[in-house]
Amino acid sequence: MAPAASELKIGKKVNEGKTKEVYELPEIPGCVLMQSKDQITAGNAARKDRMEGKAAISNTTTSCVFELLQEAGVKTAFVRKHSDTAFIAAHCEMIPVEWVCRRIATGSFLKRNPGVKEGYKFYPPKIEMFYKDDANNDPQWSEEQLIEAKFCFGGLTIGQTEVDIMAHSTQAVFEILEKSWQPQNCTLVDLKSYRDLKEVTPEALQMVKKNFEWVAERVELLLKTKSQGRVVVLMGSPSDLSHCEKIKKACAAFGIPCELRVTSAHKGSDETLRIKAEYEGDGIPTVFVAVAGRSNGLGPVMSGNTAYPVVNCPPLSADWGAQDVWSSLRLPSGLGCPTTLSPEGAAQFAAQIFGLNNHLVWAKLRSSMLNTWISLKQADKKLRECTL
């Protein structure tokens, strides 16, 4: 366990950039302290000024964004916030490439692409990369240039697989942040109020500081949601409990509360409908999961008597599963309860519904997609290397 913030021993400075200093942490092997400065820069530090309080503003914004991504499941170097002006991160080697993702054409993109009107929207988002070279103003690079550079960091050579992973990660992170800002009626574009100043005056710097403070205040709201939702699993028999516990565990991974109930639509229809009414009456958006293997009556009865979503997740047996599943698949007209055999699939179905109005759930879904894509990409690379 890492030492508490007040007890943390700071080692020697290992690097310094325009806005941060990097220090060793002798008591936390493999980690460093990222200390922000009260400095604001633009144009590769061609313009820079001291701004009191900028370090705390930047650290709040950075830490909140990384906490959001980590909670979603995106792998980052961020460990935790240490103080008002510093955070702890893994000690990494930096690939000298800046990835840029845009939904809206504006700023430098318009200068590099004459003829494109400001406000043009990219579907999917536009991905670009720039080589980190202050002396040459960070020139734009192509994938081919990055691959041909044959960079090697930590024993890993940057090839096509790594470039593809970086590009997909960039898009996923952008989409998660874009979705997270939407509840605040904010469009994720960019923040260049300092760079665009025609003249730097105390009044102008104060305006820029207020803009950054506004972002820092709002970014903390990204970690919260006003949206409610729950999953209610109805099992036809206590013998189905282990199957239902898997659904509940998968729901927890998405941050969705899940309740388990026992009721039989065949043997206690009145009680099944009473339970349904109980959850309809409190106004909390609910997805019902019907778990009944032999002659599934729960799903169809629930679907025919509630406007809430219902999904079947029957625990099929090896002996009669092929026959029993038809009670979940062939339904009377007017019913709309889909069927999934996987407990995890039932939880994901619910998450996709709640994710429409809950950016935190949506972020977990998007991160899961990214991580699955990356694992397949890496597995393919490993297999090809073994074959070759």
385 CB burial (10 A radius; 0-12, 13-18, 19+): exposed
Peptide bond into 124 cis (omega under 30): yes
Q: Which of 75-89, 232-246, 315-329, 353-367 has the lowest mean pLDDT?
A: 315-329
Q: Is the dihedral of CA 175, 177, 183, 184 positive or negative?
A: negative
Q: Say what the pLDDT of residue 175 is.
A: 98
Angle between helices 359-387 and 54-72 (to 10 degrees): 70
Main-chain dihedrals φ then ψ at residue 336, nearest 5 degrees = -140, 55
∠ CA 136-137-141 to the nearest 5 degrees? 85
Q: Say what the pLDDT of residue 42 is.
A: 76
Contact 261, 233 (CB under 8 A): yes
Q: Say what the pLDDT of residue 200 is.
A: 85
Beta bridge partners of 24: 32
Q: Say what the pLDDT of residue 166 is.
A: 98
Tokens of 183: 């509840």
Q: Tell me: the pLDDT tens digits for 302-312?
A: 999 999 999 99
Average pLDDT of the segment spanning 339-355? 97
Tokens of 201: 């005056």
Q: Tell me: the pLDDT tens digits for 46-90?
A: 778 899 999 999 999 999 999 999 999 999 999 999 999 999 999
If pLDDT is split at 50, 70 and 90, which confidence band does 6 have?
Answer: low
Q: Tell me: the pLDDT tens digits for 162-211?
A: 999 999 999 999 999 999 999 999 998 876 677 777 888 888 899 899 99
Helix boundaries (H) for the chain: 54-72, 108-112, 143-149, 160-181, 202-219, 241-253, 269-280, 298-305, 321-324, 326-329, 343-354, 359-387
Average pLDDT of the segment spanning 287-299? 92
CB-facing half-sphere around the CA of 167: CA atoms within 13 A: 19
Q: Is the dihedral of CA 81, 86, 88, 90 positive or negative?
A: positive
**Model confidence at 321: pLDDT above 90:** no
Distance CA 61, CA 257 (A): 29
CB burial string 353-364: b at 16+ within 10 A, e below: bbbeebbbbbbb
Q: Tell me: the pLDDT tens digits for 87-127?
A: 999 999 999 999 999 999 998 999 999 999 999 999 999 99
